[in-house]
């Protein structure tokens, strides 16, 4: 078969690899001039750094198996992170159960209730009962209002901004379960993995394999139209030309598929457009000194414009970046004013915010700044999300959809992109012509 894959993020590249390896001719179309999508890279010092921060968990078996299959498993190095929360103008360590017990901003009984909630999540297998309860209601009922206001509310806001209170219980249950499984038997120590030279190493390897199997990666070729021609094949159009395929896999946000494919019914278009995404603003700072000993600081203060401080080099070490690398991140509505002001103003706001967390911080410490924005960064997991997810096979014969929005009950992530890509490619192969 001749197959077009739209999007050269991890989902598109993994699917392209699986389909090419199975003997089919694959072209991967990518609108930007680089591969990797959200897992693409930027240069920092003499090294490559993820454009948006990433780490993986020991339970990310689909991704780890893929690295083994590609012979790059030794590139993943494992680290023990130190985490913290910034609240009431103080940074509190928040890595181990002992840190939770010492966490003064909530009363002692609430801390115990919260500890029990976290522990119990690991043993709950059937998520269906969480689908119709908000994360907020679940936490308030089980651990009290204070826990929600001081810990989980800020964590949910750090991902979902103004939608935090309407996020499904399934999302938070899965996060608690995941963090539990990343600790293994020693619950006081978490292990996170990062790929030496960034996850672009994985993307590059997949792209090389696709080319080895006679496929191609077409960069700077946004697909702007998809339609069936007289011979019932798919015609894929980009500003550079039109191409014909037996099958097509679309891997970007579902609402983008509606924009380029006129064939769908109005009802199906509504379904795809109904899957909302948050955007992300991410400022990379290259500094000449560290900010703190922590890898991950959740910022629980409404007057600070970012919600996460990720000091990447506190996880991996300085390596050949030659600087201390910090990401300041904010998930946000694409229509909000902060998302739409100039990059210079965002950088200024973020640096002012950083001075509120670290009053001794001086702008002379900054060697370089780089602002990245992603319009489609995080699907918004609302109540009864399972019922809203479209199938991988679209109603149009030969056209398939594999997007972050279809990952459930787990949250989107590199591991699940690999799983989704494998499922989608098997389905496409099973279908035949």
Ligand X SMILES: Cc1cc2nc3c(=O)[nH]c(=O)nc-3n(C[C@H](O)[C@H](O)[C@H](O)COP(=O)(O)OP(=O)(O)OC[C@H]3O[C@@H](n4cnc5c(N)ncnc54)[C@H](O)[C@@H]3O)c2cc1C
Binding site for ligand X (CB under 6 A): 6-12, 29-32, 37-39, 52-56, 222-223, 251-252, 256, 260, 280, 282, 329, 374, 376-377, 404, 412-415, 417
Cβ proximity to ligand X, 81 vs 398, nearer residue = 81
Helices (H), 218-323: 254-260, 266-273, 313-316
DSSP annotation of 150 reads: I
Cβ proximity to ligand X, 260 vs 366, nearer residue = 260
* Minimum CB–partner distance for residue 2 and ligand X (Å): 17
Burial of 255 (0-12, 13-18, 19+ CB in 10 A): middle
* Minimum CB–partner distance for residue 217 and ligand X (Å): 11
Q: Are residues 321 and 47 in contact, defined by beta-carbon separation less than 8 angstroms?
A: yes
Cβ proximity to ligand X, 38 vs 64, nearer residue = 38
| CB proximity list for 28: less than 8 A, separation 6 or greater | 4, 5, 6, 7, 8, 12, 13, 16, 207, 210, 215, 216, 217, 218
Cβ proximity to ligand X, 158 vs 324, nearer residue = 158
* Minimum CB–partner distance for residue 270 and ligand X (Å): 20
Cβ proximity to ligand X, 134 vs 280, nearer residue = 280
Cβ proximity to ligand X, 225 vs 320, nearer residue = 225
* Minimum CB–partner distance for residue 164 and ligand X (Å): 17
Collapse the DSSP code of 25 into the 3-class scheme (helix H, G, I; strand E, B; otherwise coil) and give the result: strand
CA atoms within 13 A on the CB side of 42: 17
* Minimum CB–partner distance for residue 401 and ligand X (Å): 11
* Minimum CB–partner distance for residue 104 and ligand X (Å): 29
Q: Measure the CA–CA gap between 297 and 325, rounded to whole angstroms.
A: 14
Cβ proximity to ligand X, 169 vs 254, nearer residue = 254
Burial pattern 293-329, b for ≥16 Cβ within 10 A else e, equals ebbbbbbbeeebbbbbbbbbbbbbeebebebbbbbbb
Helices (H), 182-312: 200-212, 254-260, 266-273
Tokens encoding 104: 């003064």
Q: Are residues 20 and 28 in contact, defined by beta-carbon separation less than 8 angstroms?
A: no
Q: Measure the CA–CA gap between 166 and 359, rounded to whole angstroms.
A: 34
Tokens encoding 134: 């908000």
* Minimum CB–partner distance for residue 219 and ligand X (Å): 9
* Minimum CB–partner distance for residue 109 and ligand X (Å): 33
Q: Are residues 202 and 73 in contact, defined by beta-carbon separation less than 8 angstroms?
A: no
Cβ proximity to ligand X, 147 vs 172, nearer residue = 172
CA atoms within 13 A on the CB side of 390: 30
CA atoms within 13 A on the CB side of 191: 12
* Minimum CB–partner distance for residue 261 and ligand X (Å): 10
Cβ proximity to ligand X, 91 vs 284, nearer residue = 284
């Amino acid at each position: 078969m001749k197959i077009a894959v739209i999007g050269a993020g991890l989902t598109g590249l993994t699917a392209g690899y699986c389909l090419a390896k199975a003997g089919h001719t694959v072209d991967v179309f990518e609108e930007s001039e680089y591969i990797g999508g959200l897992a693409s890279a930027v240069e920092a010092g003499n090294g490559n750094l993820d454009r948006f921060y990433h780490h993986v968990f020991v339970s990310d078996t689909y991704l780890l198996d893929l690295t083994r299959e590609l012979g790059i498993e030794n590139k993943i190095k494992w680290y023990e992170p130190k985490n913290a929360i910034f609240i009431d103008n103080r940074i509190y360590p928040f890595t181990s159960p002992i840190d939770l017990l010492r966490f003064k901003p909530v009363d002692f009984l609430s801390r115990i209730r919260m500890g029990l909630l976290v522990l119990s999540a690991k043993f709950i297998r059937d998520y269906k009962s969480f689908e119709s309860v908000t994360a907020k209601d679940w936490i308030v009922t089980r651990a009290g209002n204070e826990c929600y206001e001081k810990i989980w509310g800020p964590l949910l806001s750090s991902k979902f901004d103004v939608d935090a209170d309407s996020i499904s219980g399934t999302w938070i249950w899965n996060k608690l379960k995941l963090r539990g499984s990343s600790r293994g038997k020693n619950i006081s120590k978490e292990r996170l993995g990062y790929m030496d030279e960034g996850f672009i190493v994985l993307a590059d390897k997949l792209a090389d394999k696709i080319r080895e199997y006679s496929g191609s990666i077409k960069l700077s070729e946004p697909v702007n139209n998809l339609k069936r021609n007289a011979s019932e094949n798919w015609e894929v159009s980009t500003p550079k030309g039109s191409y014909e395929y037996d099958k097509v896999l679309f891997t970007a946000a579902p609402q983008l598929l509606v924009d380029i494919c006129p064939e769908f019914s109005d009802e199906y278009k509504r379904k795809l457009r109904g899957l909302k995404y948050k955007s992300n603003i991410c400022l990379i700072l290259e500094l000449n000194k560290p900010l703190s000993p922590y890898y991950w600081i959740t910022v629980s203060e409404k007057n600070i414009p970012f919600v996460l401080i990720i000091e990447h080099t506190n996880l991996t070490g300085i390596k050949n970046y030659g600087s201390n690398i910090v990401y300041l991140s904010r998930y946000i509505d694409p229509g909000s004013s902060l998302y739409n002001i100039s990059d210079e103003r965002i950088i200024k706001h973020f640096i002012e915010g950083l001075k509120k967390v670290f009053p001794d911080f001086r702008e002379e410490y900054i060697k370089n700044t780089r602002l990245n924005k992603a319009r489609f960064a995080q699907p918004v997991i609302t109540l009864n999300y399972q019922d809203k997810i479209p199938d991988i096979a679209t109603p149009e014969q030969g056209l398939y959809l594999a997007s972050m929005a279809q990952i459930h009950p787990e949250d989107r992530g590199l591991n699940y992109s690999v799983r989704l890509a494998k499922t989608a490619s098997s389905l496409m192969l099973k279908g035949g012509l």
